Amino acid sequence: MTNRRSFVRAAGASLLGATAVSRAGAATLPEAAVQTTAATQPPLPPPNGRPFQPIVTLNGWSLPWRLRDGVKEFHLVAEPVVREIAPGMRANLWGYNGQSPGPTIEAVEGDRVRIFVTNRLPEVTTVHWHGILLPSGMDGVAGLTQPPIPVGKTWVYEFVLQRSGTFMYHPHADEMVQMAMGMMGLFIVHPKDPRQLRADRDFGFILNAYDIEPGSATPRVNTMLDFNLWTWNSRAFPGIAPLVARTGERVRIRVGNLTMTNHPIHMHGPHFEVVGTDGGWVPRSARWPEVTTDIGVGQMRAIEFDAVAGDWAIHCHKSHHTMNAMGHGVPTMIGVDHRAVVEKITRLIPDYMVMGERGMHEMAEMEMPLPDNTLPMMTGTGPFGPVGMGGMFSVVKVRDDVAPGDHCDPGPYRHPPGTLAHEYTGALPDAPRAAAPPADAGTVQVRKPVGPHHH
Ligand SMILES: [Cu+2]
């Protein structure tokens, strides 16, 4: 992590016409930490203030604060960023402090927070604190509760966190464009008593979506439903980090949805319970077991389960959302005749088939001609070959020997003897078959009703 040592220098370096900040003014602003990689950063234990168990933001990080007179001061910088969606593809997005999504803000119930927001975008913005109980004037709705933050200016929000839970932040000015460009982040309010609602592992991510034409890098911002990149924290499989845990640990996963459609999030392996919604924590007596929880637009769900050893897929159950940009538009994109491409590939791969002829699994291992900066539609490799996924897909990796707090990818699961599906190699008895259908079986027999017609 690199810190902006001097806010004055950083503001002066802005090409967006920021006016110089006075020395006295700069001294009142906390440093704006910046993250330059999409790798998951280790959880950030609180250096001061009330204790809490920090969360792991998938392919993300948490924003450090400065404690000043008992107030936690954070500094968000809204700005254009470059985000690696997965190895092989980078997108020109807008975000906060170097990344999209922005850093996770973590604080404790009862804390007073002061959040400075500097606007380095080419247009006005605001920040809305989605789900947080606060005075109306701190709600960040352009025109309604404040004028928008002009380009180059810094605005201050300040409020006391009244309830613990999982919340989000995003602009409420030119919202359609700014969210389509990736401006959003998690806001976690931990309970005052850290023993309350304790989980051994606590993960968080936001569901988001982009429409980036294959071969380009900037999202189309007018798209309403026809997105081609379905992402978690602006990452697509196989770019999404695994969720690592130790057998028997209590694991919490918090998921917020800032796309424009619902996502039924499905986890293989142990059953889970929905323990939190946007409105707070679900009382123990009201939780029920699930293997899929549908997360509506603008909603958040926290789920918990007891970890069981294995490699367990976790993904959106809309099958189109576990794919990257469809490849069939590609030949038009790069200006080649599709038939010529098929002919050339056939020379290299004699049994190359037109997509769909025998299913599409083979596409997962095929070298398709792709423009630069584009992810294959179905990709990723596991210990048994191609996974054939993309988009909103990752793996919960649970092992007996993971050290507490260790989030490193433990590699593929080693299945205990006798617990792995395998080929049957014994004798195959003659299967009894139904008699061949009569020659006219395809003809529909219609018996017309007799008697008067009824209307
Ligand atoms: Cu989905």
How far is the centre of ligand 1, averaged over its atoms, from the C-alpha of 299 (Å)?
13
- Least-confidence region, from 25-39, 280-294, 401-415: 25-39
Q: How far is the CA of 144 from the centre of ligand 1 (A)?
A: 32
Q: How far is the CA of 89 from the centre of ligand 1 (A)?
A: 21
Residues in the chain, how many?
A: 455
Residue 391 Cα to ligand 1 midpoint, Å, equals 9
CA 441 / ligand 1 centre spacing (Å): 41
**Whether residue 382 has pLDDT greater than 50:** yes
Q: How confident is the model at residue 443 (pLDDT cuts 50, 70, 90)?
A: low
> What is the rounded average pLDDT of the residues 256-274?
97
Ligand 1 mean position to 208 CA, how many Å?
Answer: 9
CA of 230 from ligand 1 middle (Å) equals 7
pLDDT band with cut points at 50, 70 and 90 for residue 353: low
Confidence of residue 428 (pLDDT cuts 50, 70, 90): confident
pLDDT in tens, 112-133: 999 999 999 999 999 999 999 9
User: What is the CA(175)–ligand 1 centre distance, in A?
Assistant: 21
CA of 273 to the centre of ligand 1 (A): 19
User: Ligand 1 centroid to 317 CA: how many Å?
Assistant: 6
Look up residue 276 and give its amino acid: G
- What pLDDT, in 10s, does the model give residues 5-50? 333 333 333 333 333 444 444 468 898 999 989 999 999 999 999 9
Q: What is the distance in A from the centroid of ligand 1 to the CA of 404?
A: 31
pLDDT, residue 245, reads: 97
Distance 189 CA to ligand 1 centre (A): 26
